[in-house]
Amino acid sequence: MYPDDVKYTPQHEWARPHGETVRIGITAYAQEALGDIVYASLPAVGTDVTAGASIGELESTKTWSDVYAPVSGRIVAVNDALDAQPELLNSDPYGDGWIAEVEPAEAGGLDQLLDAEQYRQLVETER
Amino acid sequence: MQCRLSPAEVAGDALASVRMIASAAAAAAGPPLYHSPLYDRHVGLGAKMADFGGWEMPIEYPDGGVLKEHAAVRQAVGIFDVSHLGKGVVRGRGARDFVNATLTNDLARIAPGQAQYTLCCDDATGGVVDDLIAYLRSDDEVFLVPNAANTAGVLRRLTAAAPAGVEVANLHRSLGVLAVQGPRSAEVLERLGLPTGHDYMSFVSSDWGGEQVIVCRSGYTGEHGYELLPHWDSTGRLWDALLAAAAPLGGRPAGLGARDTLRTEMGYPLHGQDLSLDITPVQARSGWAVGWDKPRFWGRDALVAERERGAARLLWGLAALDRGIPRPHMVVTAAAGEQAGEPVGEVTSGTFSPTLRKGIGLALLRRGVEPGAEVRIDVRGRPSTLRVVRPPFVPASTR
């Protein structure tokens, strides 16, 4: 539920170092809260993003949610598989359901984020 | 991620699929929520729970989700706990005549042992207090199933109007309601030894292990199905038996999230969204559930007058032509012609159709906006185009 190889935002995104880039997605708690996700609107490759700003939107059968960038930088890859298979966000949020890869604008962005234990405590409070 | 709810969900009649907000809302609302007799079973299954008309009910189950539960009902069978629905009885000499002089549909169209969809309207305005099912038992007994949130209001109006000798009783927590819906629903009931062969919208009283269960051929999904009314205390045992019988047939428990996508595909209105005190049966195109030839029913004068002059707005279906999903309270604008860009109505229900894999909805549209027309909505800054259609979106197979 809270893998410790990723860092977390209070808005329920995760970020994981991936070579020179940072791969990002939404947490298991986020996908459970949304329910079955049917559309993923993702940023275009090359877009500059700012930590905390919306970079896309996920829509489920009954609701929707913005996705916020965990770190600042440039989008260098997006998970095109989500277009045909948005259900990957539900079934494998930390793996095949990743959303995008960001080339960080500066080093150390991940250090600002929550670790697994801090995030777990946040979720327990929200429940 | 920041979950957002549509306005209808904030209003509380909602399929709030977001647990953190649903639980916060529940905590903020004063009175405690009622529990179905299956509450412990739902929690044990790990269901996502939310407030439905004052009842804490399952939205979806952990191994399911709206899409899987929806598909089970369309392709096999789903078992729903809808015990939050109201139950009431009007009985005593002349009960049938009294109900027929108040609710809209004509009980002369059915015989004892049959049920009908009907409306309780405000006498002055013709606005819909509630839509409900009336089960005709005899000239002296009519059983009613209103919506959870409206039960007290409907029964209060009936009680106030009842003539001497006619009694109105609230049985909300005397009976459970389980819906068994889908092409394999009859097989499930057969495995329990329950009757299945009766006509659509008819009901029989049956003995199940020494306990009485009313079995009605009805539902809110568009599939062949049954609604079972067991005593409150035997509802759990019946639920367990139904789930055990359904599992080998590809059946599963289904929550109220799937119930909403299923009914929306049929174009069935939901009170609080597509029907309300501000929406009349004429506007909702529910005139088929009105006994126009009856001398008396609540709202008759207002509704006859509106029908004669023509309703200013009508409830139609919307089918997305792109990736937009209509949501309640979105403004609908004309897509073409002289009025392009002008508001022509408002979305009352909207969702993603799991069967069609696109957005669908119901909307109250200004008279003159007819099926075939293209209209627009604004989906959080993105324009989306939809076609006005006559529901159902998916063919019904109720019979």
Which domains occur in chain A, in start order?
7-121 (2.40.50.100)
Nearest to B23 by CA among A111, A123, A89, A94: A123
Shortest distance between the Cα of A30 and any Cα of chain B, in A, equals 7
Neighbours of B287 (CB within 10 A): 17
Chain A residues inside the 8 Å CB shell of B350: none
Architecture of domain B312-389 in this structure: Beta Barrel (2.40)
> Rounded to whole angstroms, how far apart are CA atoms B301 and B306?
9
Give the pLDDT band of residue A107 (cuts 50, 70, 90): confident
Mean pLDDT, range A24-33, rounded to an integer: 96
- Determine whether the interchain pair B65/A38 forms a contact, defined as Cβ–Cβ distance below 8 Å: no
Report the 3 state secondary structure along B162-209.
CCCCCEEEECCCCECCEEEECCCHHHHHHHCCCCCCCCCCEEEEEEEC
Task: Considering only residues A127 and B140, tell me which one the structure prediction assigns the higher pLDDT.
Answer: B140
Chain A residues inside the 8 Å CB shell of B1: 11-13, 26-27, 30, 34, 58, 65-68
Domain boundaries, chain B: 7-85+175-266, 88-170, 312-389
> Does residue A113 surpass a pLDDT of 70?
yes
Neighbours of B316 (CB within 10 A): 23
> Rounded to whole angstroms, how far apart are CA atoms A39 and B280?
35
Q: Which CATH class is domain B88-170?
A: alpha beta
- Determine whether the interchain pair A62/B380 forms a contact, defined as Cβ–Cβ distance below 8 Å: no
Question: In this complex, is the C-beta atom of A66 within 8 Å of any C-beta atom belonging to chain B?
Answer: yes
Of residues A62, A65, A90, nearest to B1 (C-beta) = A65
> Rounded to whole angstroms, how far apart are CA atoms B377 and B373?
13
How many interface pairs between A and B have CB atoms less than 8 angstroms apart? 86
Residue type at position B367: R
pLDDT for position B17: 35
Residue type at position B225: G
* Domains B88-170 and B312-389 belong to one CATH topology: no
pLDDT for position B1: 60
Burial class (CB within 10 angstroms; exposed 0-12, middle 13-18, buried 19+) of A35: buried
Q: CA-based Rg of chain A, rounded to a whole angstrom?
A: 13
Query: Which chain A residue shows the shortest CA-CA distance from B322?
Result: A39
pLDDT truncated to tens, each residue of chain B (399 aa)? 655 444 333 332 222 333 333 344 445 556 899 999 999 999 999 999 999 999 999 999 999 999 999 999 999 999 999 999 999 999 999 999 999 999 999 999 999 999 999 999 999 999 999 999 999 999 999 999 999 999 999 999 999 999 999 999 999 999 999 999 999 999 999 999 999 999 999 999 999 999 999 999 999 999 999 999 999 999 999 999 999 999 999 999 999 999 999 999 999 999 999 999 999 999 999 999 999 999 999 999 999 999 999 999 999 999 999 999 999 999 999 998 888 999 999 999 999 999 999 999 999 999 999 999 999 999 999 999 999 999 999 999 998
Give the pLDDT band of residue A30 (cuts 50, 70, 90): very high
Question: Considering the domain B7-85+175-266 in this protein, what is its CATH number?
Answer: 3.30.1360.120
Q: Which residue in this structure is represented by tokens 């947490």?
A: A27
Of residues B1, B17, B68, nearest to A62 (C-beta) = B17
> Rounded to whole angstroms, how far apart are CA atoms B391 and B265?
8
> Rounded to whole angstroms, how far apart are CA atoms A123 and B17?
17
- Determine whether the interchain pair B351/A67 forms a contact, defined as Cβ–Cβ distance below 8 Å: no
Mean pLDDT, range A11-40, rounded to an integer: 96
pLDDT for position A126: 81
Of residues B1, B60, B325, nearest to A67 (C-beta) = B1
Q: Average pLDDT over chain A, rounded to whole? A: 95
Q: C-alpha dihedral over B80, A85, A78, A11, to 10 degrees?
A: 10
Nearest to A52 by CA among A15, A77, A81: A15
- Determine whether the interchain pair A32/B19 forms a contact, defined as Cβ–Cβ distance below 8 Å: yes
